[in-house]
Chains A and B, each alone.
Chain A
Amino acid sequence: MDDDQLMYHISQGDKVAFHTIYKRHGGHLLGYARSFLKRTETAEEITQDIWCKVIRLAPSYKGSGNFVAWIYTLTRNACLNQLRSQSKLQFQEDAGAKEVSDADTEKEFLQKMDLSKLKEAILQLPDQQRISLLLFCVEDMSYDEIARELDLSLSSVKSLIFRARQTLGGLK
C-alpha cells in the first residue's frame, strides 16, 4: 500500500495504517529534525506534533503522490519556526561571499565524502551553513529556493554552502 492510500485509511481512523506509515518514515523524520535543531528532546517534541498534525490533516490531504516531500516540508517549517522563536537563528547576508562554485560541483564533491564521518561533521557546522546544506542535500532544493526560504540573497546561499563544503573538505 502506498503512502497516499495509507493516508486515506488514516483519515478513517485506522491505527494500523498510521503505524505502517510511521515505521516507513518515522526514523528519517526524527533524524532530519535533530540535524536541524541539534537537540534530541526538541526534535522529539516537534516530530510528535508533526505526526499528530499528519493525522488531523489526513481528511483534507490530497493524494498528490508526494507524501515524503509534504512531510519533510512540514518538518522543515516547524524546525525553522522553532529556531526563529528562540532567536537562535538569524540569517545574515554574507558580505565576504566571493568564492563559490555551481550546485553540481558541490553535490559531486559531497557524494565522494566518507559517509560515516559526514553526519557528525554536518552537525558541527554553524547553524546557517548546516541548515543551508541540509536544504540543499536532503530536500534537494536549488540555491534560489533556499534563498527564498531563508530570506537571503542568492550569493549568500552559494557562499554558505561553499563554506560548509570547505569545512567538510577537511574530513578527507
Chain B
Amino acid sequence: MKNWRDLFQEQPSQNYEKELFAKAHRELEALSQIKNKKWFWAWLGGIAAGSLGIALWLKNPNPTAVDEEMLAFSDINESDLDLEFFEELEMFEELDELDQEINI
C-alpha cells in the first residue's frame, strides 16, 4: 500500500528551518508571556482577596456579631421600604383623583 504522504515528503533546507524557527520562537515567546501574565493576575487576585479577608477579620474577629447586626439592619430597611411603598401608592391615588377632577 503506497503512503501518499510519504511520497511527497521533502527535506527542508537549513535556511528554511532557520527562518521558521526564528518565527516560531517569537510566537512561542508571545504565548509564554500571555501565560505568565495570567499567572501574575491570578497571584495578585489571590493576594488582594487574602488581604481583604484579613482586614475584615481584624475589624471584627467575631463574624456572628456581624451577621446579627446585618440581619437587624435589613429588617429595619425592609419595613421602611414597605412604608415608603404605601405612601407612594397613596400619593398616586390622590394624583388620579386630581386628574379626574381636572377632566370634569
Contact = CB atoms under 8 A, between A and B. Distances in A.
Interface of A: 10-15, 18-19, 22, 26-28, 30-32, 34-35, 44, 47-48, 51-52, 55-56, 58-59, 68, 110-111, 115, 118-119, 137-138
Contacts, number: 75
Interface in B6-50: 6-12, 16-17, 19-21, 23-25, 27-29, 31-32, 35
A55 B9 contact: no
A13 B31 contact: yes
14 contacts: A13-B28, A19-B21, A22-B24, A28-B6, A30-B16, A44-B12, A48-B19, A51-B23, A52-B27, A55-B24, A55-B28, A55-B31, A56-B27, A110-B2
Nearest to B25: A15
Given A12-B31, A27-B11, A58-B31, A32 B5 contact: yes
B73 interface: no
Give the secondary structure class of A's interface.
Answer: helix
Nearest to B26: A52
Interface residues of B, number: 25
B8 A32 contact: yes
Contacts of A18: 24, 28
A126 B97 CA distance: 90
B4 interface: yes
A13 B32 CA distance: 5
Contacts of B17: 26
B102 interface: no
